[in-house]
Structure 1
Amino acid sequence: MDDLFELDAVGQAAAVRTGEVSPRELTEAAIARIEAYDGEINAVVHRRFERALAEIDALPRDAPFHGVPTLLKDLGWSMAGEPYRAGSRVLDGVEVARDGYGVAKLRGAGFVVLGRTNTPEFGTTITTEPKAFGPTRNPYDTAYSPGGSSGGSAAAVAAGLVAVATGSDGGGSIRIPASMCGLVGLKPSRGRISYGPSLGEAWAGFSAPGMLCRTVRDSAATLDVIAGAMPGDPYGAPAWPRTLAEEVGADPGRLRIGFLAEHPRGTVLADPDLAAAVIGAAGLLESLGHDVEPGGPETFADEDFALHFGTVVATHVAADLEEIGRWRGKPVDLDELETRNRILGATGRELGAVDYVASRDWIDGFRRRMAAWWESHDLLLTPSLGVAPFPLGWLPADDVSMARGRTNQAVAFSSPINATGQPAISLPLHRTAEGLPVGVQLVAAAGREDLLIRIASQIEAAGPFRHTAIRR
């Protein structure tokens, strides 16, 4: 049965359809794997095994992922009747009243939801070490972080507890753990997946829900089932000509690709593993017939970006704290929070509406300046993460200045793409001398996930990704 967990979700769904395994047998096997291996990794913070087993018979039998187990990130992805913690004890006792649209679509596609995965408090950092639930460990080396904020989901998929799990990405929170855990992580275009019915957007549109996967075809097929604007959404992404699953293996044509092996902002330190990953990927893309040259948008170097991005995030954290107070019937005292969020909350409360609107307007201009580069290029290639794989504890809780500096460097390649709302994918194309994964990021113009799937599947076909952390 463990051999089934080396399959991706598309493969597991095929095994169910052919009768090789029943949905109940596959679900029970996934539960057994979580019980056997998660004590080492600490990816799953809420288990709903009995409920999941009881729901199997009601799943639509003709659904594309009928009987395939999955896990939900415990941030967003609300599910009726289940607790919601967002990595924090301030939400103890909160239970969700209804499914979010994304969860409803997953269940409608036949997925069996086994529980919720670990995330840093409110998802505001790049490592998954919340005080409330303890650190999640990287399956490649348990002394290392799996990244964040979708680190629990990434660790679970990398270890083979499930084939796919949900995430969200507000500054790199899908792409960074995908890089750290050797996975495929696609951040969709702004508006591609609905945050409803409880929200119209998250972090002023910076954040996008998505999936952590081991294969490109899973990334395509799962996005097909959860994508689509819903009634009342503030905006949506343009429709694709056909499904993403149909783009897997399709000829991408000869593409114009720029690459950055080092960040154009001089304050971001270079790392040899990141440069090697990008240069290796650039060589591979050139060998596949694409026009590849060094360079990227000059706008990437803008020193003011971090200030305005931070203003938007801090303001939304402060607003979220007010909402949490209403949920639980008691205002949130900043002393209840981890140091990072205590500072973000206090900063957000001090900022005025004029500051917030000014930063959103600045980001609008930044987005237009960035978009101009894609008028003459198809893709940008960069590292997914701005630093080398790092151990647990690398972001010190008691040294806020050091933690902020390290975080700003780590998200230097990812957070600008959250601000622009473009789709970006992290692919596991490099390993350090110690065997730790390092991902590279490909960024397309807004709405062009189809192009990312074509090029990613071409790369995967040229050299299938290795997933050596799967527990056996």
Structure 2
Amino acid sequence: MTAPTRVHTFTDDALADHDAVELARLIRTGELSAAEAEAAAVARMRQVAPALRALAYEAYDAPRRADGDGGLLHGVPTVLKDNTHLRGMPTNHGSDAIRALPAKRDGRYTEQFLSAGVTVLGKSRMPEFGFNASTEFRSAPPTPNPWNTGHSVGASSGGSAALVAAGAVPIAHANDGGGSIRIPAAAAGLVGLKPSRGRHIAGDTTRTLPIDIISEGVVTRTVRDTATFHAALERSWRNPALPPLGLVEGPARRRLRVAMIVESVTDAVVDTQTKAAIERTATLLEEQGHSVEPISIPVDARFGDDFVRYWSMLAFLAGNLGRLTIDPSLDASLLDGLTNGLRRRFTSGGWRATPAALLRLRGATAAYASVFDHHDVILCPVVAGVTPPLGELSPTVPFDELIERLLRHVAFTPLQNVSGAPAISLPMALSEEGLPIGVQLSAAYGDERTLLELAYALEEQSPWPRIQDRIQDQPTG
């Protein structure tokens, strides 16, 4: 077995170590052509393919380019996650059980995503239906973490996170139904904003959900890339029910009231390195002039169990109705152990408690919102510990053990999915093993601006660890 290694592609080519905003500027001014950026990205993606296996579908010979020269990120190479329809590319939702034909049309969200001006070079890998917190599979090799290929890159947007962290593309599509932007961002040392529910056009999957928990977004290496992407999409379509976001370009001067939470919705124990990262971030925030106050988690003690019931119901619907709602090629006999375990959990009696669980989950929105009567931001972990070794969260692990491991790990992110509020993962530290540790900031519904302004300030105050730098040169938790 090959020893775990770091994998990155940063070199002196057309992409260099530019973020998406700088690449777009170079293309706009003619200092670099979109074709040169595209070719460099293809070369980098081919370079990391054997180690990272991050693509579900390659479109190097037939990329989807933006129409015209509009869009704040015109010409910037990227990938789309494998649960979003793009005309001419298949959508297999990370599952062996689906053998989809190329999509005949773009998904509901895809047009808005493309309005940023990006060039799509393929589809990124994800675990089956996005149910897992690691990009691992029933029978195929996993997508590992570029920082250490023996560890998980998180999920479900793990393929996107691996490619951005390794420098193959500067920005990549991600979406989040329980932490699927923030968890891979934390694992891979990236910025991952889950926007407010309704901030963008909803993807196709959300039409069938009893509670809409999915938000669309990206993973990036800089705050300004994330801010610019969301500003670009707002130019295409803006939800009139939400305050406009606009282009957030730096920190604000406001002094904020920060609530710090280190207890989880699943009673998981937060490891010492993650606690240290939270405490260090709290200190940095206080140095900026903000006040930080520890508080208790603001939801019903049954929240974790209720979310698992909803999760199980979604697996049941995917397995039992997926040929109608997902893809007609779906073969339920090929579903992985996690999906099947969740289905069994639902059919063996979990369905009886589901109506009450859904009612309590809807009630969590008001409980979460009440925090912001006295605070502006919540500071907490993204997950309960450093990203685990590959295999620990594999769908081949017996279900009862796997679900317990997942509940111990995915202990903070689902609350914002249920409430619809925005949250951002920031790479605030490295573990003793040189793996990134993400810290989560969340705000009131519709207040992404505060999160981006605060993220700018933290990025300026304590620059993110870089995969291309030596471990000993990095800040640690």
**Could you tell me the TM-score, scaled by structure 1's length?**
0.90
SS at match of 1:142: strand
The answer as to whether partners of 1:73 and 1:116 remain within 8 angstroms in 2 is yes
Which of residues 192, 195, 203 in structure 1 aligns to 2:199? 192
1:38 partner letter: A
The residue number in structure 1 matching 2:90 is 83
The answer as to whether partners of 2:174 and 2:217 remain within 8 angstroms in 1 is yes
CA distance in 1, matches of 2:16, 2:296: 39
Gaps of 5+ in 1: none
Deviation string, structure 1 residues 46-95 (Cα, Å, up to 9, x no partner): 1001111xx54x632132211110011112x2101211111112211333
Shift of 1:196: 4.3
Which of residues 340, 343, 351 in structure 1 aligns to 2:341? 343
Which of residues 237, 242, 264 in structure 2 aligns to 1:239? 242
Shift of 1:469: 4.6
- After TM superposition, the structure 1 = structure 2 runs for residues 180-329 of structure 1, keeping only pairs within 5 Å, are 180-196=187-203, 199-200=206-207, 202=209, 204-227=211-234, 238-243=241-246, 245=247, 247-260=248-261, 262-263=262-263, 267-299=267-299, 302-326=300-324, 328-329=327-328
The answer as to whether partners of 1:5 and 1:163 remain within 8 angstroms in 2 is no
The residue number in structure 2 matching 1:427 is 426
Name the CA shift for 1:125/1:331 in 2 (closer, same or farther; >3 Å): closer
CA distance in 2, matches of 1:354, 1:131: 29
SS at match of 2:173: strand
The answer as to whether partners of 1:184 and 1:216 remain within 8 angstroms in 2 is yes
Shift of 1:321: 2.9
The answer as to whether partners of 1:147 and 1:180 remain within 8 angstroms in 2 is yes
- After TM superposition, the structure 1 = structure 2 runs for residues 21-420 of structure 1, keeping only pairs within 5 Å, are 21-52=32-63, 56=65, 59-75=67-83, 77-131=84-138, 133-196=140-203, 199-200=206-207, 202=209, 204-227=211-234, 238-243=241-246, 245=247, 247-260=248-261, 262-263=262-263, 267-299=267-299, 302-326=300-324, 328-329=327-328, 332-333=331-332, 335-349=333-347, 355-396=353-394, 397-420=396-419
The residue number in structure 1 matching 2:466 is 467
Deviation string, structure 1 residues 178-217 (Cα, Å, up to 9, x no partner): 1110000001111112224564365621121111011111
Shift of 1:449: 0.4
CA distance in 2, matches of 1:321, 1:332: 8
The residue number in structure 1 matching 2:447 is 448
Deviation string, structure 1 residues 225-274 (Cα, Å, up to 9, x no partner): 3359979xxxx57433450x2x22141501000112x3156831131111
Shift of 1:349: 4.7
Structure 1 range deviating more: 275-284 or 355-364 = 355-364
CA distance in 1, matches of 2:240, 2:316: 28
The residue number in structure 2 matching 1:12 is 23
CA distance in 2, matches of 1:210, 1:203: 21
CA distance in 2, matches of 1:252, 1:91: 50
The answer as to whether partners of 2:109 and 2:204 remain within 8 angstroms in 1 is no
- Measured on the aligned residues, the alpha-carbon RMSD in Å equals 2.4
Shift of 1:346: 3.3
The answer as to whether partners of 1:16 and 1:67 remain within 8 angstroms in 2 is yes
SS at match of 2:308: helix
SS at match of 1:313: helix
The answer as to whether partners of 1:100 and 1:198 remain within 8 angstroms in 2 is no
CA distance in 1, matches of 2:369, 2:322: 36
User: Identity of counterpart residues, as a percentage?
Assistant: 34
Deviation string, structure 1 residues 74-121 (Cα, Å, up to 9, x no partner): 12x210121111111221133322112332123232110000111111
Deviation string, structure 1 residues 347-379 (Cα, Å, up to 9, x no partner): 345668764332221112222122111111001
Size of the aligned set, in residue pairs, is 457
CA distance in 2, matches of 1:28, 1:5: 13
CA distance in 1, matches of 2:230, 2:346: 33
The answer as to whether partners of 2:341 and 2:399 remain within 8 angstroms in 1 is no
**Could you tell me the TM-score, scaled by structure 2's length?**
0.90
The residue number in structure 1 matching 2:4 is none
Name the CA shift for 1:403/1:153 in 2 (closer, same or farther; >3 Å): same
The answer as to whether partners of 2:98 and 2:331 remain within 8 angstroms in 1 is no
Shift of 1:224: 2.2
SS at match of 2:150: coil
The answer as to whether partners of 2:312 and 2:346 remain within 8 angstroms in 1 is yes
